[in-house]
Amino acid sequence: MNKIIGSVGRNGKNLPADVALIQKLLNAQKIPGQVTPLKVDGKMGSKTISRIEVFQKKILKMVLFDGRVDPDGRTFTKLVGSATEPETKNSDNHEFSPMGMDLLKSIEQLATMPYDDQTGDDITEWVKGATIGYGHLILNAEWPKYKYGITQDEALELFHSDLTPYVNTVKTKVTADITQNEFDAMVILTFNIGRTAFTNSSVLKMVNNPYATTAYTNLEAAWKAWNKSQGVVNRGLTKRRQAEWDIFNKGIYQKW
């Protein structure tokens, strides 16, 4: 259910979750002259305030527009009532979005020199967790190629190459009609847990069939269960799963 706790906009409380919801609702509007979507990051800024004002002026026809959305106010009621539903389509017709790409890059972080993914330490010899670029796991046979590092452009090229199989897995394994943000969230999840794990997961079963019998009461629980490293709950993975779920469920693209 769409609701905000406090006011959003000029002189508002501007709680991050409330701001993100208003940004998402504004992006769902067809406002004349407003083509570029707002960044859904939960941060109040001049662009969000300006978009609220334009909505009030052009859609609500308000003479005295204040750039603020109140929980029980006219602006919020109209935003919720007139928001267009996100387009759903077969996963095979989706591509990983620029917003998803940028978020995944910020999560994985660029490393132009090899490091041990298990410890975060720089390395000069190959180890099992040897990593470079945007989360590229270096095979033993690849070590001579990457041991002296790579450029940022090479890292980006490697990232795109690495990403393709994960995108294709989501495109081929998801049979339900989904939105762009749902597709992006599943690509980011799959990139982290692996293609085989995603293919065999309760997440995929429940996305394809909401009535599927699994060990979990709902899709959110199944998604967030992927928060363990070597059998132990990992704080970083817990936060990552929440960020992915926010993309899937709310269309909020924000790193923790």
Q: What is the pLDDT of residue 84?
A: 58
* 59 closest CA partner among 48, 68, 51: 51
pLDDT at 85: 59
Q: How many CA atoms lie within 13 A of 84 on its CB side?
A: 9
**Euclidean distance between CA atoms 223 and 216, whole angstroms:** 9
Collapsing DSSP states into helix, strand and coil, what is residue 128? coil
pLDDT greater than 80 at residue 86: no
Strand partners, 111: 133
User: Is the pTM above the cut of 0.75?
Assistant: no
**Per-residue pLDDT tens over the stretch 35-78:** 788 888 889 999 999 999 999 999 999 988 999 999 989 999 99
Specify the fold of 89-250: Lysozyme (1.10.530)
Q: What is the pLDDT of residues 191-212, one digit of tens each?
A: 999 999 999 999 999 999 988 9
What are the backbone dihedrals phi and psi of residue 146, each rounded to the nearest 5 degrees, phi first? -115, -5
pLDDT the model gives residue 41: 85
Averaged pLDDT score across all residues of the chain:
92
Residue type, 155: A
For the chain, which residues make up each domain, given as ranges? Answer: 8-82, 89-250
Residue found under tokens 């065999």: 200
Model confidence at 5: pLDDT above 80: yes
More reliable by pLDDT, 126 or 210 = 126
| Model confidence at 167: pLDDT above 70 | yes
Predicted local distance difference test score (pLDDT) of residue 40: 86
pLDDT at residue 82 in the model: 72
Structure tokens at 15: 């709680």
H/E stretch holding 195 reads helix 195-199
CA separation, residue 96 to residues 93, 158, 179, 234 (Å): 10, 16, 11, 27
For the ranges 1-5, 57-61, 148-152, 221-225, the lowest mean pLDDT is seen at 1-5
**Which residues are CB-contacts of 18 (< 8 A; sequence separation ≥ 6)?**
4, 5, 6, 8
Q: Is 174 exposed, middle or buried (0-12, 13-18, 19+ CB in 10 A)?
A: buried
Residue-level pLDDT at 36:
82
Q: What is the mean pLDDT of residues 148-173?
A: 97
Helices (H), 8-88: 16-27, 46-54, 74-82
The CA–CA distances, whole Å, from 171 to 34, 167, 217, 241 equal 31, 6, 25, 20
* Cα distance between residue 4 and residue 71, in whole Å: 6
